[in-house]
Amino acid sequence: MEIETLQDLFSQLTDFPHNRFHPLVWIIGEPEIGEGVFIGGFSQINGKGARLSIGNHCDIASFVSINCADSHLRCLGVSEQIVRRDIILEEHVFVGSHSVIKGGAHIGHHSVIAAGTVVDPGVIPPYSLVSGNPMQVKAGYYRNRIADPEQ
């Protein structure tokens, strides 16, 4: 079965529009997605009601959730609103499989989000390595490695 046929079928079953990445990538809202971006299957990019920007040449693995919305307070009856916060991934960011990026996160260029990481709101400096839950940030981890590929 051709990829276009698969995307047509998936779109009919789910109301998710076609995308340029993979038939099983869910894109909600109108995120800004740069050139040369890869998004793996079964990933969700939810920018509904907030700004979600993914810079050029980012690589987002499979099973990743990038979600501007947080509905836990509404679910508990504490609020009637879903909280929506912007998410920014600058250029050349790698996001490992099974990671979650929450609303309010700003990830600097040339950073790596390790597989299985939960990225909380806040600013992550460029060239960082981020891992774990709770996340740990090694700021500048890749700075010298990119300047000198031999390291």
Domain ranges for the chain, please list them: 45-133
Whether the pLDDT of residue 149 is over 60: the answer is no
Contacts of 94 (CB under 8 A, 6+ apart): 58, 59, 61, 111, 112, 113
Q: pLDDT tens, 20-66?
A: 887 789 999 999 999 999 999 999 999 999 999 999 999 999 999 99
pLDDT (0 to 100) of residue 113 = 99
Helix (H) or strand (E) holding 101: strand 100-102
Whether the pLDDT of residue 15 is over 90: the answer is no
What size, in residues, is the chain? 151
| CATH superfamily to which 45-133 belongs | Hexapeptide repeat proteins (2.160.10.10)
Confidence of residue 147 (pLDDT cuts 50, 70, 90): low
Kind of pairing between the strands at 129-131 and 136-138: antiparallel
What pTM did the predictor assign? Answer: 0.89
Q: Coil, strand, or helix at residue 14?
A: helix
Whether the pLDDT of residue 122 is over 60: the answer is yes
The C-alpha atoms of residue 148 and residue 151 are separated, in whole angstroms, by 6
**Is the separation of the CB atoms in 86 and 102 below 8 Å?**
no
Percent of the chain with pLDDT over 90: 79
Q: pLDDT tens, 80-89?
A: 999 999 999 9
pLDDT (0 to 100) of residue 1 = 59
Whether the pLDDT of residue 133 is over 90: the answer is yes
